């Protein structure tokens, strides 16, 4: 979330839309980790206005616009948002922040359907998600931008940063497993990870960021939110998506298998990726636990991490422990 006193809010969003895009319509706030996101319903269509967090540099804002342009040009059949240019043709607009600095904003189309997290989950849906994720990875394989190597705590390769965040917490949830796992992962697993295929990837295919058909939960129809996209190991992108498929302890492995089978149809995993994906799934669960605790302490009023408590993470940590034991 943006720092206190630096938010634009609904009134500010309306001003940005009118001044820079010539749009007037209904505006609603969407949850976000760092940025301010707004859903816009206007005569010209449905959009999302993203106002980047105060600390976001221009090249990162530009990278998001370039990703959407790249996908529109090179994979026009992929169901992802489409960038909307400002009235003057700018892909990214610059906004005074009221403190002598600048913030940046982009506008892109709103994807119809509903988030996968609100749907009835099935193996057929998971298989379709695997197919869609692999298609996206192929479309992004040759994308390049100077900002894609940015340091991002949500990159599973950033082991030291996660260790530092965990150490800063007064109490680490599930510390009996989380802290030793971070140390082990930072060693042997981390070294093997650097030998896997690398590319630019979405890096956040969780159940919020996959859209399904409003009339058929089995059919994934879109991928949204490229805010955490980076250059990393492809296996990390796959593992993150697999965690997004987990919604119940009794079906977690079945959903992972269905997703992987769908992914393999389009772009088969290498033997090295197949071996490291299970510990990477465990690593993502641990990362989620640590970062959720961090943000809940930093911004207790934020709704973005609401509901992710020990009851939510309990069986997921148990699943991570099982995966970790198999890999050892």
Choose one of 74, 109, 144: the last residue of a domain. Answer: 109
Q: What is the mean pLDDT of residues 147-154?
A: 94
Kindly report the CATH number assigned to the domain that includes residue 206.
3.90.1200.10
Non-local CB neighbours of 52 within 8 Å, separated by 6+ positions: 34, 35, 60, 61, 103, 104, 105, 106
How many structural domains are present in the chain? 2
202 with 320, same domain: the answer is yes
Domain span at 95: 9-109
Residues 105 and 131 in one domain: no
pTM of the model: 0.94
pLDDT surpassing 80 at residue 312:
yes
> What pLDDT, on the 0 to 100 scale, is given for residue 5?
44
Between 84-88, 98-102, 173-177, 204-208, the lowest mean confidence (pLDDT) is in 98-102
pLDDT at residue 307, rounded to an integer: 79
Q: Which of 40-44, 101-105, 139-143, 324-328 shows the lowest mean pLDDT across its residues?
A: 324-328
Asked whether residue 265 carries a pLDDT value surpassing 60, the answer given is yes
User: The domain that contains 25 carries what CATH number?
Assistant: 3.30.200.20
- Same domain, yes or no, for 286 and 171? yes
Task: Name which of 54, 52, 49 is nearest 4 in CA terms.
Answer: 54
Task: With residue 164 as reference, give the H or E element that holds it.
Answer: helix 159-168
Q: How much is the pLDDT for 243?
A: 98
The predicted pLDDT at position 126 comes to 98
Upper half-sphere CA count for residue 294 (Cβ side, 13 Å): 18
**What pLDDT score was predicted for residue 2?**
44
- Residue where one domain finishes, among candidates 109, 141, 168: 109
Spatial separation of the C-alpha atoms in residues 192 and 227, rounded to whole Å: 27
Residue whose C-alpha is closest to residue 234's, from 147, 160, 133: 133
**Residue 3 in this model has a pLDDT that exceeds 50:** no
Encode pLDDT of 44-93 as tens digits.
Answer: 899 999 999 998 999 999 999 999 999 999 999 999 999 999 999 999 99
The reply to whether 1 falls in a domain is no
Q: How far apart are the first and last CA of the chain?
A: 38
3-state secondary structure 26-89: EEEEECCCCCEEEEEEECCEEEEEEECCCCCCHHHHHHHHHHHHHHHHHCCCCCCCCEECCCCC
Instruction: Pull the structure tokens for residue 217.
Output: 């939960």
Which tokens go with 137? 């990875």
Residue whose tokens read 């839309």: 17
Confidence of residue 299 (pLDDT cuts 50, 70, 90): confident
pLDDT of residue 149: 96
Is 65 among the domain residues? Answer: yes
What tokens does 108 get?
């892109």
Determine the Cα–Cα distance for residues 316 and 282; give it in Å rounded to an integer: 9
**Tell me, what's the pLDDT at 300?**
77
């Amino acid at each position: 979330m943006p720092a206190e006193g630096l938010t634009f809010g609904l009134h500010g969003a309306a001003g940005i839309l009118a001044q820079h895009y010539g749009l007037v319509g209904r505006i609603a706030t969407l949850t976000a980790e760092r940025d301010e996101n707004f859903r816009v319903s206007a005569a010209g269509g449905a959009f999302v206005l993203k106002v980047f967090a105060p600390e976001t540099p221009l090249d990162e804002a530009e990278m998001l616009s370039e990703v959407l342009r790249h996908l529109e040009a090179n994979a026009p059949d992929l169901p992802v948002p489409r960038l909307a240019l400002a009235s003057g043709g700018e892909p990214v607009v610059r906004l005074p922040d009221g403190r002598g600095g600048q913030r940046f904003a982009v506008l892109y189309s709103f994807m119809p359907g509903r988030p996968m997290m609100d749907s009835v989950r099935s193996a057929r849906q998971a298989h379709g998600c695997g197919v869609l994720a692999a298609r996206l990875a192929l479309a992004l394989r040759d994308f390049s931008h100077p900002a894609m190597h940015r340091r991002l705590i949500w990159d599973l390769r950033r082991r030291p940063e996660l260790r530092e965040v965990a150490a800063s917490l007064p109490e680490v949830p599930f510390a009996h497993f989380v802290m030793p796992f971070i140390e082990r992962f930072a060693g042997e697993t981390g070294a093997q990870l650097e030998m896997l295929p690398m590319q630019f990837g979405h890096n956040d295919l969780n159940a919020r960021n996959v859209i399904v058909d409003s009339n058929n939960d089995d059919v994934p129809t879109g991928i949204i939110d490229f805010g955490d996209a980076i250059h990393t190991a492809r296996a990390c992108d796959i593992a993150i998506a697999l965690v997004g498929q987990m919604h119940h302890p009794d079906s977690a492995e079945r959903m992972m298998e269905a997703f992987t089978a769908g992914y393999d149809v389009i772009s088969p995993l290498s033997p090295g990726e197949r071996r490291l994906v299970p510990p990477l799934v465990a690593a993502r669960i641990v990362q989620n636990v640590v970062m959720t605790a961090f943000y809940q302490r930093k911004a207790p009023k934020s709704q973005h991490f609401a509901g992710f408590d020990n009851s939510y993470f309990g069986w997921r940590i148990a699943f991570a422990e099982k995966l970790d034991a198999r890999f050892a």
